[in-house]
A = this chain, B = another copy of it.
Amino acid sequence: MTTTDASNRQSTGGSKYTGPIIDTDVHETFTKWTDLVPYLKEPWRGLITNGAWQGTGNPHVHWAANGVNRGDSQPADGAPAGSNYELLREQILETYPITHAILTGQFMPAVMPMQFEFATALANAYNNFVSDHWLARDTRLRASIQLAPQDPQAAAREIDRLGPDPRFVQILLPIGQWSYGDPFYNPIFEAAARHNLVVAFHHTGAVESALGKGRYYIEWHINVPQGAMATLTSLVVNGIFDKFPTLRFCILESGYSWLPHLLWRMDQNYRSLHLEIPWVKQLPSKYILERVKFSTQPTEDTSVENWLRLHDMLGTDKLLVFATDYPHWDFDSPEESVPRALPADLRRKIFYDNAQELFGFQD
């Protein structure tokens, strides 16, 4: 109701109302979420006191005090985990015999709801920041070209800009709600192929399962590999492996023990239904086993015998590449994650040879 309307109503006569009033909509609030702490029992109280739930964002919360990060990875000055070169050097490069570390970032304008042009500008700016603040400081570091794939032509231009720089060894495509086999992403793969860059995929907070995000962080986290599985299916059925025969791929942080299942199921379906996708010229498993690597982190809770059974099922020891996922909470230490009882040559392939071959690093 406007002021004018109100004035008109007053002017229609009658006396001022002086009786009791019921206001049926008044919005009180509290000052901060922690005002609710005295009124909660555990475990809900802890969700707020440890800062895990801040009333926004995902439907679930991070229960650990440091959220998704390793407790010791935050710099003493309060800067974000993973933002300090000296600490990263101390905690991984100097602690383990790491010859090359591939920076994958955690700033992905692909997942931000924003204008396409601004997303592209942010991705390009971040790549320049990485060049100046990270790559320039340590020759062991290599980087991923971050992209805003929602504008594939702009993403291709960014790949063409940085592709000649040998310190950028891969492009990084975030896994969320995007089916990268869809034709409008082809310019990105064309550009990666022009510069012989690895195409890496990494999940983001935007990834969901077949049933959505779920209500718990553990639920979301258990289901994260479904995004990688569906991405591989999308690449295969849309013929990306055929259209770009030189491209190599790497699936990061999505596991690998689901791979025997997916390869068997893909091949079985291909044998029955290949008429639907005549542009796919061979069994899906053949493309994947030849041209896709999988990072080990997060290694799963299973035995040495099962590691070996998985390798026997896959029929190759060239698939896995090691990763720590520093500085995140489920960091994999080279000393504990890959079982010591595995054969020495398999451990060497996982820790070094397979990635060395993927990226073409010279010894």
Please give the residue numbers on chain A whose beta carbons come within 8 Å of chain B beta carbons, in ascending order.
Answer: 43, 46, 60-61, 63, 177-179, 182, 207-212, 214-219, 221-223, 225-227, 229-231, 233-234, 237-238, 255, 257-258, 260-262, 264-278, 298, 300-302, 305-306, 309, 312-313, 329-330
Could you tell me if B264 and A237 are in contact, using CB atoms closer than 8 angstroms? no
Residues of B within 8 A of A215 (CB): 179, 182, 237-238
Residues of B within 8 A of A222 (CB): 233, 237, 262, 265-266, 269
Task: Report how many copies the assembly holds.
Answer: 2
* With A211-B177, A211-B230, A300-B261 as contacts: A277 and B312 at CB distance below 8 Å: no
Q: How far is the CA of A43 from the CA of B273 in the complex (A)?
A: 13
Could you tell me if A300 and B264 are in contact, using CB atoms closer than 8 angstroms? yes
A63's partner among B209, B223, B237, B276 (CB-CB below 8 A) is: B276
Residues of B within 8 A of A214 (CB): 179, 230, 233-234, 237
Could you tell me if A275 and B43 are in contact, using CB atoms closer than 8 angstroms? yes
Could you tell me if B300 and A306 are in contact, using CB atoms closer than 8 angstroms? no
Name A284's closest neighbour in chain B (CB-CB). B222
Q: How far is the CA of A217 from the CA of B273 in the complex (A)?
A: 8
Residues of B within 8 A of A262 (CB): 222, 258
Q: How far is the CA of A223 from the CA of B218 in the complex (A)?
A: 22
Residues of B within 8 A of A61 (CB): 276
* With A219-B237, A237-B216, A258-B258 as contacts: A264 and B301 at CB distance below 8 Å: yes
Could you tell me if B237 and A210 are in contact, using CB atoms closer than 8 angstroms? no
Name A305's closest neighbour in chain B (CB-CB). B312
Residues of B within 8 A of A277 (CB): 216, 218
Could you tell me if B210 and A273 are in contact, using CB atoms closer than 8 angstroms? no
**Could you list some 10 contacts between A and B, CB below 8 A?**
A177-B212, A179-B215, A207-B210, A209-B233, A210-B210, A210-B229, A218-B237, A223-B233, A260-B306, A265-B298
Name A52's closest neighbour in chain B (CB-CB). B276
